Structure 1
Amino acid sequence: MNQRTICRSLAVIFFMSTPVMAETSRHHAAHVHGAGQLNLAVEGKLLHIEMTIPGHDIVGFESITSPEREQQVDQAIERLQQASMWHLPTSAQCTLLSTKAGHSAESHHDDDHGHHHDHGSHLDFTVSQVFECNNPKALTEIEARLFERFANSESLKVQALTDKGQMSATLKRGKPVFRF
């Protein structure tokens, strides 16, 4: 197998397993405020980005307990879906093909007596985006604009898969650029 085929296969495995890992981590891993996870893979002309981040980092709270908070969550989802969340090299000529964002808060419900129950779940946001880059050789870095848009965000742990191999790093407010 050539390196491109291997990279393509790993990218498929990487992104197919991410929702499973996110679900598993949601139930078993520590929920750390200020720390999100960013997975990215470059496959030919396509850049796949997937981010999971605690709700506190985005909206400042962990559960949806009012219509006002529901509205804040909806507004945050709109902002997270924007291509401008990331700065990519202009020379790579990247265009956003698809975007999907949501949250994983457990729904709240009333019991038979009308009492509201919060099951103690943590609000997490997930964002999945695909960019097509006409000049993928120029795609050598990504800058997260998350930190300037959401004051509580402090870091993103990056896992990347490109034709250069697998890489990891941590992006922070003072160091928002990942080079690959």
Structure 2
Amino acid sequence: MRRLLLALPFALLPLTMAYAADHDHEHDSLGAHEHGVGTLNVALDGPTLELDLDGPSVNIVGFEHIATTDADKAKVDSARTQLENPLALFSLPKAAGCVVEAQDLDSPLFEAAPEEAGAAKTEHHHSDIEAHYAFTCANPEALKALDLTQFFKTFPGTHKLKVQLIGGSGQQGSELTPKAPTLKF
């Protein structure tokens, strides 16, 4: 399953390259980095559901610099706590009986050393937050939709998620927004 999710970005590479060429400001090796927009890759293989979320940290915490103030540190801690509870953010049908098997959060904001914070404060850095979740679902056939209403309410800086889904019915792409927060499998 993990290989399936890892292969998805390579399959979409030509589209990403075309988008990056049209993007109005560049970020060295970061590729497309659009505030308010994130990506969500979803893969369903038998009882295993995997979600890979990626987006600018400004979408989640409201800024991209290393947290140096108590208020910024509290925002980062709060966001991390919320991201550590995927069943609250991604409303999966209860009938599917999904449980979290693994999760991994990654961002420079979560790992910054105090000495890096001083340097980061004087420079503008673009940082992302990445989250990977793996669920095991007792009744995967009950997974008809994934509702992100709570995700958009929790992180209002996210205005759109570009979604790629690989599942039993093939591949599909869509865009989810606060007004259209449901992905149909």
The TM-score with structure 2 as length reference comes to 0.77
User: Residue in 2 aligned with 1:12?
Assistant: 3
Q: Secondary structure at the match of 1:87?
A: coil
Question: By percentage of residues, which structure has more helix?
Answer: 2
Q: 1:163-178 maps to which residues of 2 (within 5 A)?
A: 163-178=168-183
CA–CA distance in structure 1, aligned partners of residues 67 and 134 of structure 2 = 32
CA–CA distance in structure 2, aligned partners of residues 125 and 28 of structure 1 = 13
Give, in angstroms, the shift of residue 17 of structure 1: 6.7
Question: By percentage of residues, which structure has more strand?
Answer: 1
Contact 1:109/1:117 (8 A) holds in 2: no
User: Residue in 1 aligned with 2:42?
Assistant: 40
Deviation string, structure 1 residues 89-121 (Cα, Å, up to 9, x no partner): 12111111112212135957769xxx9423532
Pair 1:75-2:78 in alignment: yes
Q: 1:141-156 maps to which residues of 2 (within 5 A)?
A: 141-144=145-148, 145-156=150-161
Give, in angstroms, the shift of residue 52 of structure 1: 0.5
CA–CA distance in structure 2, aligned partners of residues 110 and 14 of structure 1 = 35
Which moved further from structure 2: 117-126 or 153-162? 117-126
CA–CA distance in structure 2, aligned partners of residues 51 and 127 of structure 1 = 5
User: Residue in 2 aligned with 1:4?
Assistant: none
Contact 2:164/2:174 (8 A) holds in 1: yes
Evaluate the alpha carbon distance shift between residue 77 and residue 63 of structure 1 in structure 2; reply closer, same or farther with a 3 A threshold.
same
CA–CA distance in structure 2, aligned partners of residues 94 and 12 of structure 1 = 21
User: Residue in 1 aligned with 2:96?
Assistant: 92
User: Residue in 2 aligned with 1:161?
Assistant: 166
CA–CA distance in structure 2, aligned partners of residues 116 and 93 of structure 1 = 46
CA–CA distance in structure 2, aligned partners of residues 88 and 174 of structure 1 = 18
The TM-score with structure 1 as length reference comes to 0.79
CA–CA distance in structure 1, aligned partners of residues 97 and 115 of structure 2 = 50
Give, in angstroms, the shift of residue 28 of structure 1: 3.6
CA RMSD of aligned residues (A): 2.9
Aligned-pair identity (%): 28
5+ residue gaps, structure 2: 21-26
CA–CA distance in structure 1, aligned partners of residues 74 and 106 of structure 2 = 13
Evaluate the alpha carbon distance shift between residue 16 and residue 165 of structure 1 in structure 2; reply closer, same or farther with a 3 A threshold.
closer
Give, in angstroms, the shift of residue 153 of structure 1: 1.3
Q: What number of residue pairs does the alignment pair up?
A: 165
Which amino acid is the alignment partner of residue 160 of structure 2?
S
Which amino acid is the alignment partner of residue 162 of structure 1?
G
Deviation string, structure 1 residues 3-55 (Cα, Å, up to 9, x no partner): xxxxx5xx62433676xx9xx99724232111000001001101001101211
CA–CA distance in structure 1, aligned partners of residues 101 and 160 of structure 2 = 26
CA–CA distance in structure 2, aligned partners of residues 58 and 43 of structure 1 = 28
